[in-house]
């Protein structure tokens, strides 16, 4: 995901994932963190129903562009 910082385009990618109840947190390489309420987003319904063990079994795809 390109972002513009001080007139420079920079590629931002995921570096980690964590869960807190029904929230998914994605850490980015520029030190930001994105939070998604998995129980409020229809296409994440499968993740809202996942067990703790299933949620712990995640991986980053090459380059950090997919989880």
Higher pLDDT, 65 or 30: 30
55-62: average pLDDT: 91
46-55: average pLDDT: 93
For residue 6, is pLDDT > 70?
Answer: no
Q: Read off the pLDDT band of 4 (50, 70, 90).
A: low
Q: How far is residue 65's CA from residue 49's CA, in Å, rounded to a whole number? A: 24
Q: Please tell me the pTM assigned to this model.
A: 0.79
Query: Which pLDDT score, from 0 to 100, does residue 10 have?
Result: 83
């Amino acid at each position: 995901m390109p972002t513009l910082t001080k007139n420079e385009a920079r590629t931002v990618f995921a570096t980690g994932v964590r869960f807190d109840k029904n929230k998914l947190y994605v850490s980015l390489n520029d030190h930001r963190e994105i939070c998604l309420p998995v129980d409020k987003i229809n296409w994440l319904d499968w993740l809202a129903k996942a067990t703790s063990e299933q949620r712990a079994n995640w991986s980053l795809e090459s380059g950090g562009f997919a989880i």
